[in-house]
A = this chain, B = another copy of it.
Amino acid sequence: MKRNKRERQALLTETIKENPFITDEELADKFTVSVQTIRLDRLELSIPELRERIKNVAEKNFEDEVRSLPLEEVIGEIIDMDLDNSAISILDIKKEHVFKRNQIARGHHLFAQANSLAVAVINDELALTAKANIRFTRSVLEGERVVAKAKVISIDEEKGRTLVEVTSFVNSEIVFKGDFEMYRSHA
């Protein structure tokens, strides 16, 4: 559906607010306009380009926040963190992440992103994975960006276990889902 400019710009603002990591190409597709039109819209609306938006988010220093491991040990880049509640990271799938034969991302990289996010979200100096139940729902290809969202489902103080659900997306498609049962030293 073609929209007039005002409608489109309102929806554009809304869309980027909901998903700051959407590319201009994806926006152009979504609104059936050219990429150039999206760029002009962003200029008029003073919405920075994707690279800048990511940088803004990443500039927030999570180093002081994450307790269970040093930030550089997290696979992917953390862009949101609310300890013992939720967290988001992004991982750009590059050549080194895929099977040579078919350019499909290897499962253990998606697992590593999700698992390290499940560790990072725990508000404790010690967090280890006890169990995980995972599902790969759609192949991820080289060049795609995986956004992993972790949600703490429950904290069992007696058992010292925390349940973390991680769902990973490429754009709005779910590519991976994992339930992680995490061990922690203090609940």
A residues contacting B by CB (< 8 A) are 69-70, 73, 75, 99-102, 104, 106-108, 111-112, 115-116, 125-126, 128-136, 139
Residues of B within 8 A of A135 (CB): 130-131
Instruction: Pull 25 A–B residue pairs with CB atoms less than 8 Å apart, ordered by A.
Output: A69-B99, A70-B100, A70-B101, A73-B100, A73-B106, A101-B125, A102-B126, A106-B112, A106-B116, A107-B128, A107-B132, A108-B112, A111-B112, A112-B112, A128-B136, A128-B139, A130-B135, A130-B136, A131-B133, A131-B134, A131-B135, A132-B133, A132-B134, A133-B133, A133-B134
Residue in B70, B73, B134 whose CB lies within 8 Å of A134: B134
Question: Which residues of chain B come closer than 8 Å to A70, judged between CB atoms?
Answer: 100-101
Nearest-Cβ distance from residue A115 to partner chain B, whole angstroms: 5
Residues of B within 8 A of A75 (CB): 108
A-side interface mostly: mixed
Distance in angstroms between the alpha carbons of A58 and B155 in the assembled complex? 45
Q: Known contacts A73-B100, A101-B69; is A107 also within 8 Å of B136 by CB? A: no
Query: Given A106-B112, A130-B136, A132-B134, 17 other A-B contacts at CB below 8 A?
Result: A69-B99, A69-B101, A70-B101, A73-B99, A73-B106, A75-B108, A101-B125, A102-B126, A106-B116, A107-B115, A107-B129, A108-B108, A108-B112, A108-B116, A111-B112, A111-B115, A131-B133
Expressed in whole angstroms, the Cα–Cα distance for A129 and B75 within the complex equals 20
Complex CA gap A104/B130 in Å reads 13
Once the chains are docked, how many angstroms separate the CA of A69 from the CA of B99? 8
Beta-carbon contact of B126 and A131 below 8 Å: no
